[in-house]
Amino acid sequence: MKTIYDFTVKDRKGNDVTLKEYTNEVLLIVNTATKCGFTPQYEELEKLYERFHSRGFEILDFPCNQFGQQAPGTDDTIHNFCKLNYGTEFPRFKKIKVNGDEAEPLYKYLKEQKSFAGWDMSHPIAKILDDMLSKEDPEYKEKPDIKWNFTKFLINKFGLVEARYEPTEKIDNIANKIEELLNK
């Protein structure tokens, strides 16, 4: 059975990183952007990281410029922005594509494992995204593509995808599931 440990990605300097390095850890894999309405989630992600990191939790940050060109700049510029503005300490990788023919193989795999999870319509941005995406493609909800920045995939200690969270998901819901997986 294929797991995320079968993939190698590039760190922000272009070096190969095998995801086997994260064996036996709970992971949250996130596609991010520095100029997005969801960018303040970096603060929430860093709090999750600080809370759970010492117990075997890691966040893997993959900047992506596919949604409204909201991740401009170089890998170093993005990294410095996140460190300066949000104090992030979790690993950041090379900017990637998450959809289309040029999508990072890891993301092709993640989308095969968990399709679109639906918006939390109580979030103020959810209706805006739903309206915008529905105009572009009335059947967008049926497709596994990543819909926007800050989509998150939760990976268990065996390298299997446990859950997909859209950017409108409450961070407390994600934290509860992380806690559950760390305690298994």
Q: What are phi and psi of 26, to 5 degrees?
A: -90, 130
Answer yes or no: 36 catalytic.
yes
Which residue in the block uniquely carries the two structure tokens 């998901």?
169
CB-CB contact of 99 with 66 (8 Å): yes
Q: Do residues 59 and 49 make contact, with C-beta atoms less than 8 angstroms apart? A: yes
Strand, helix or coil for residue 11: strand
Cβ contact 82:49 at 8 Å: no
Residue 69 structure tokens: 């060109």
**Catalytic residue among 4, 29, 33, 36, which?**
36
Residues assigned a catalytic role:
36
